[in-house]
Chain A
Amino acid sequence: MTEGHDSGKRGWPLWEVFVRPRRGLAHQHVGSLHAPDAAMALRNARDVYTRRGEGVSIWVVPSSAIMANSPDEKDPFFDPAQDKVYRHPTFYDVPEGAKQL
């Protein structure tokens, strides 16, 4: 998964974490963390979000991969069909040739 950024300076990519606290319940979004890849993201999520034994199942998803449609959250530039979770500059693929974005 490439973000096109200088990893040393920009840091590891952002992942959203979902935890199912108990069998029978659905996964719930609990927050985000930075990790270099999925394997580390899962392990970090276990350490950060399930320290007190909460969590039967953990999902991690690159934040940039999540498509959102939240019509209730009104934003003049919001694309109603599909958009990103946050207005985060690194989530958007920079078009070829666009330099100072």
Chain B
Amino acid sequence: MYGNYDSGTASSPGGPHDQDAQQRFDRLIEADQRIEPRDWMPDAYRKTLIRQIAQHAHSEIIGMQPEGNWITRAPSLRRKAILIAKVQDEAGHGLYLYSATETLGIDREELLDRLHDGRQKYSSIFNYPTLNWADVGAIGWLVDGAAIMNQVPLCRCSYGPYARAMVRICKEESFHQRQGFDILHTLSHGTPGQKAMAQDAVNRYWWPSLMMFGPPDEESSHSAQSTAWGIKRFSNDELRQRFVDMTAPQAEVLGLSLPDDDLRWNAERGHYDFGAIDWDEFARVIRGDGPCNAERLRRRRQAHDDGEWVREAAQAYADKQAARQQAARQEARAS
């Protein structure tokens, strides 16, 4: 999901062509075994993974902004605490994922450069603003719900460090979705003002959540390769359908409507039918023309730039301490 859509990598092999290594790699994939950091892997596999895992990491980090937006205004101390914990988890998830990406032989600084200059992306959903408190609930219920749908299969992704990071993340993620649902349930069963707030949030977040699963299968050109490599376990449309099937009944429990007149249970198919997604909007937002794209990146870049003097100071101190210890050792030897 955070990289489920068009990853845009070349599929032609680069790097050393080693027949045995390729065969070994293929056998591991076929046997559903894990590829580990020191295994030979096709260059394109490495590049695809770097892009996908990094974009997943970037999504977690950027995602801290729309939710962090409501920490100082949370309407109860309990909700404030839960929200801080959630955003903290997201920072942690970003770190696990950067850590997994780095095992592929790339530095976090390089990944951040690519995020900051737009070469790597993050999930389109975080380009939408959080305009009221209920949006925090909608993000938990819908966005995290969609994320879980994608993340559970990734726990069996072929690349070991990514799969293991996903297991860690999934353990922490279920609390997030439940909290979002709980916020909305409280609102929809509260005052008329609160119920209207909740409905407004769902009206704005429903369609963008469906878009999180990426373009329709027939337009997803690199999915076939990702599937063959065990990176992608289910197609975009399959996951999207599962999400709708899971979420539509939950909306009824919430007593909130979903903004889709074509949404209805189809007994023949055994699934919910739903309306057409505005793929033009999706394309626009991916391209950078969403409500918050510029702002999200600007704030991210600014945090990084503003922090440079701090990071440098820490490194300078570490170097000084190392030099002092070295000098002390030499002195001790000399005496």
Contact = CB atoms under 8 A, between A and B. Distances in A.
A7 interface: yes
A75 B37 CA distance: 10
Interface of B: 16, 18, 21, 24, 36-40, 88-89, 92, 95-96, 99-100, 102-109, 165, 168, 172, 308, 311-312, 314-319, 321-322
A78 B315 contact: no
Nearest to B161: A31
A87 B322 contact: no
Interface residues of A, number: 35
A66 to B, nearest CB: 12
A33 B88 contact: no
B38 A87 contact: yes
B82 to A, nearest CB: 14
B165 A2 contact: no
B99 A70 contact: no
B166 to A, nearest CB: 12
Q: Is the interface of A mostly helix, strand, loop or mixed?
A: loop
A86 B102 contact: yes
Contacts of A52: 172
B97 to A, nearest CB: 10
A8 B109 CA distance: 10
A26 interface: no
A88 B102 contact: yes
A34 B315 CA distance: 11
User: What 10 A-B pairs come out closest when comparing CB atoms?
Assistant: A7-B315, A73-B38, A36-B314, A37-B318, A11-B109, A36-B318, A32-B99, A87-B105, A31-B99, A8-B312
Contact of A83 (B24, B38, B39): B38
A87 B103 CA distance: 7
24 contacts: A7-B316, A7-B319, A8-B312, A8-B315, A9-B109, A11-B108, A12-B311, A14-B108, A31-B165, A32-B99, A36-B318, A37-B314, A51-B88, A51-B92, A70-B36, A70-B38, A75-B21, A75-B39, A86-B38, A86-B102, A86-B104, A86-B105, A87-B38, A89-B105
Nearest to B113: A9
B58 to A, nearest CB: 16
Contacts of B105: 86-89
